[in-house]
Amino acid sequence: MFEFRIDATCGPARAGSLTLPHGEVRTPGFMPVGTQGTVRTLSPFDLEAVGAQMILGNAYHLHVRPGEAVVEALGGLHRFMAWPKPVLTDSGGFQVFSLEGFRRVGDDGVEFQSHVDGARRKLTPERVVEIQWALGADVAMAFDHVVPGTATHPEAEDALERTTRWLERSKRRHIELERDTAARQTLWPIAQGATFPDLRRHALEWIRDLGDWSGIAVGGLAVGEERRVRHETLEALLPSLPATLPRYLMGVGFPEDLLEAIARGMDLFDCVAPTRNGRNGAAFTSKGPLNLRNARWRTDAAPLDESCDCETCRTYSRGYLRHLFVTEELLGLRLLSLHNVRFLIRLTTEARARIAAGSFDAWRREWTARYNAREDQ
């Protein structure tokens, strides 16, 4: 358990295999986001059908509702949501960023005012580890302080130093929980530092000094910075990343962003984009993004994407899918979410095959040019 093998490389791009207690994950891989124990509009059977290998839950949201004690009493997160394959839980660090108006950050931890009932809740690095241990995910993330992509160097440095102190406390508590129990969960650190290469390198040095890890995450990107700056940050970070560990780039999930990140050595990804866009009538297709609310699709009998093998594309026309959104039928939300998740899983699967064949770079450039031509102007 908790082993990573690199199967092939093509420049910095890697194809790997990650072994976890609930199964193997082949990389590059995309994880659908099930923030509250469910990927919105999609059942576990849907996720199995589209080839999902691993999904993500959120410790903060599951702590608020229904509470980790409830999940643990019902057999842990896998049984609770009827998902037999690997699960990764985010620590709630992103909520430090996204719930800025409802929290107060201190060196001891973060005090949140619940977005549900207004109650005050205190999360410390130790408490976050305990919550994720009770949830029973295969991979738990250490608590971190996320700042906007536009943060200044002093702001990013302050958050990074706090994240590093929290990481040491998170690791200590996780080791304590493991002592009397067979290995069932691994803890991954998160490298912060905003868009400043010197801070990112410091983060990796501190992480390395804290001991051995089974994986590492890069956080604090896709939070307001320009894409060009994100790519430059990843390029600067690459030489310092441990070569033998799986690399998880947090919160990135638009198609072209996935390919650019894979080209810069990243292995795992998550994002709400495929399901959120799907619920709003926006689809990823091999010829570019498509807005189904556009009247031009009203009598279009073609499938959403002729190259896609998902249930949506095998069964329904663009005209029918548009009808579902115009009439606000719930089926439309499911069908587009299903397609978008399948699209990203197919994309990362194809990237893996191209890496193994040694043709990833040429394929990526051709694919991106076609996608950016945009069918739906």
Domains of the chain: 3-272 (3.20.20.105), 279-372 (no CATH)
Do residues 164 and 203 touch, judged by C-beta distance below 8 A? Answer: yes
**Average pLDDT score over residue span 254-263:** 98
Dihedral angle, C-alpha 141, 345, 32, 368, nearest 10 °: 90
Which long-range contacts (C-beta less than 8 Å, at least 24 apart) are formed by 167-170? 167/125, 167/142, 167/143, 167/206, 167/207, 167/210, 168/210, 169/124, 169/125, 169/126, 170/125, 170/126, 170/128, 170/129, 170/142, 170/143
Query: What whole-number distance in Å separates Cα of residue 45 and Cα of residue 293?
Result: 28
- Residue 222 has what DSSP assignment? S
**Average pLDDT score over residue span 335-349:** 98
- Which position among 90, 138, 144, 267 bears the catalytic label? 90
Say whether 257 is catalytic. Answer: no
Query: What whole-number distance in Å separates Cα of residue 351 and Cα of residue 367?
Result: 11
pLDDT, the chain, mean: 96
**Average pLDDT score over residue span 276-299:** 97
**Average pLDDT score over residue span 112-118:** 82
Output the pLDDT for position 376. 61
pLDDT per position as a tens digit, 172-227: 999 999 987 777 999 999 999 999 999 999 999 999 999 999 999 999 999 999 99
pLDDT per position as a tens digit, 52-77: 999 999 999 999 999 999 999 999 99
Say whether 90 is catalytic. Answer: yes
Instruction: Please report, as a single letter, which amino acid is at residue 57.
Output: G
Output the pLDDT for position 282. 98
Whole-model pTM?
0.97
Instruction: Please report, as a single letter, which amino acid is at residue 238.
Output: L
Output the pLDDT for position 100. 80
Output the pLDDT for position 377. 45
Query: What whole-number distance in Å separates Cα of residue 192 and Cα of residue 205?
Result: 12
SS3 84: coil
Residue 131 pLDDT > 60, yes or no? yes
Instruction: Please report, as a single letter, which amino acid is at residue 61.
Output: H
pLDDT per position as a tens digit, 38-47: 999 999 999 9
Farthest-apart Cα atoms in the chain, separation? 63
Query: What whole-number distance in Å separates Cα of residue 17 and Cα of residue 7?
Result: 7
Dihedral angle, C-alpha 116, 122, 125, 127, nearest 10 °: -80
Instruction: Enumerate the H helices of 44-152 as residue ranges.
Output: 44-49, 59-64, 68-73, 76-80, 93-98, 125-135
- Which position among 46, 138, 144, 270 bears the catalytic label? 270
Which residues are bridge partners to 291 per DSSP?
282
Output the pLDDT for position 375. 62
DSSP string, 305-358: -TT--SHHHHH-BHHHHHHHHHTT-HHHHHHHHHHHHHHHHHHHHHHHHHHHHT
